[in-house]
Amino acid sequence: MRFKFNKYQGSGNDFIVFDTLSAIETETCRALTPVLCERHAGIGADGVLLLGGTTPSDLTMRVINADGSEPEMCGNGLRCALRHWARQGVIEIGQAFSVLTGAGPRIGQVDVSGAIHLWMGVPGFQRSQIPATGPGREEFRTQKLAIDTQEITVSALSMGNPHLVAFVDDIASIPLSAWGPALESSPYFPERINVEFAQVQSSSEVSMRVWERGSGLTRACGTGACAVAVTGIREGSLQSPVTVHMPGGSVQVEWSEGSEVRLSGPAVHVFAGEFDIADFHPPS
């Protein structure tokens, strides 16, 4: 059986996209995702997007990480979904549409310049919202965590999915391939957590590296960029709007206390293709 797909990338975060016409079953896709996303034996991607809906009133997005797990939300993925629907003529340029995600409905808009704007919801700071261990109404803010032989200061929050943010003097010196998985699986976070290290460049610019829950080292993370900007604004080192620079590209984040986060950035169609499911085998 052959399936059609499209490949998109948002700030270097790349996805294999299936829409409703592909009719691939979710469980089949979940089992195949690790090999589909593999850079040498598969198509290669950070994850898979399963898009539903054929009209602006019934749009849905599910995300499957490269390891087969399913996160609640993905900002770069949602921008790619909006770009795909615009290319397919499902949505109109300049109009805002609601998309149902695992984190609830999110509003998106493709503007005439080609930029894509997302309203990402109100951040959650309570431990019960992240989730993190400890008293549910308390925040996980400026906590000290031991990693290797060092101690780092971190804050955690939810952008519809969990994030751990650490501001450091030099993100290039952070051994993210070692610290990322250790922090992702910290016992403080029962559902694991995305990990961002950030370095302030100015009051309106910050650089970031990310270890994504379920995908590992990636070139960008939309919800992670929001988490970094929000944390920096709360701590007083950043002022909205914030440009977040990542290895794969830059996005802009706007936020004020108590409001929704607005994320703006690009999404690009890379190529279209098809494959025979018999050619792919789930890893043993």
The DSSP result for 165-186, as a single string, is: EEE-S-GGGS-HHHHHHHHHT-
Look at residue 268 and tell me whether its pLDDT is greater than 70.
yes
* Of the ranges 27-41, 46-60, 255-269, the best mean pLDDT one: 255-269
Q: Is 37 a catalytic residue?
A: no
d(CA 84, CA 270) in angstroms, rounded, equals 11
Residue 279, pLDDT above cutoff 90: no
pLDDT at 22 over 70: no
| pLDDT for 126 | 98
pLDDT tier at 178, thresholds 50, 70, 90: very high
For residue 75, pLDDT beyond 90 = yes
| 284 has pLDDT over 60 | no
> Is 226 one of the annotated active-site residues of the chain?
no
pLDDT score, position 211: 98
**pLDDT (0 to 100) of residue 232:** 98
- pLDDT on residue 41: 85
Residue 3 near residue 43 (C-beta atoms within 8 A):
no
For residue 99, how far is the Cα from the chain centroid?
15
Mean pLDDT of 59-87: 95
pTM to 2 decimals?
A: 0.94
Angle in degrees, 0-180, between the axes of helices 222-235 and 75-88, rounded to the nearest 10: 130
> How high is the pLDDT of residue 276?
85
Give the tens place of pLDDT for each residue, 143-170: 999 998 899 999 999 999 999 999 999 9
**Tell me, what's the pLDDT at 202?**
98
Does residue 255 or residue 42 have the better pLDDT?
255
Residue 283 has pLDDT above 60, yes or no: no
d(CA 157, CA 168): 18
Closest to 13 in 3D by CA, of 280, 266, 273: 266
pLDDT at 17 > cutoff 60: yes
Is 218 within 8 Å of 209 (Cβ atoms)? no
Average pLDDT over residues 87-100: 94
Rounded to the nearest integer, the mean pLDDT of the chain is 94
pLDDT exceeds cutoff 90 at 256: yes
Q: Are 103 and 77 in contact (CB under 8 A)?
A: no
Confidence tier at 275 by pLDDT (50, 70, 90): confident
Task: Catalytic residue, from 29, 37, 80, 221: name it.
Answer: 221
Q: Which of 37, 74, 80, 226 is catalytic?
A: 74
Question: What pLDDT score was predicted for residue 19?
Answer: 86
Check whether 28 has a pLDDT greater than 80.
no
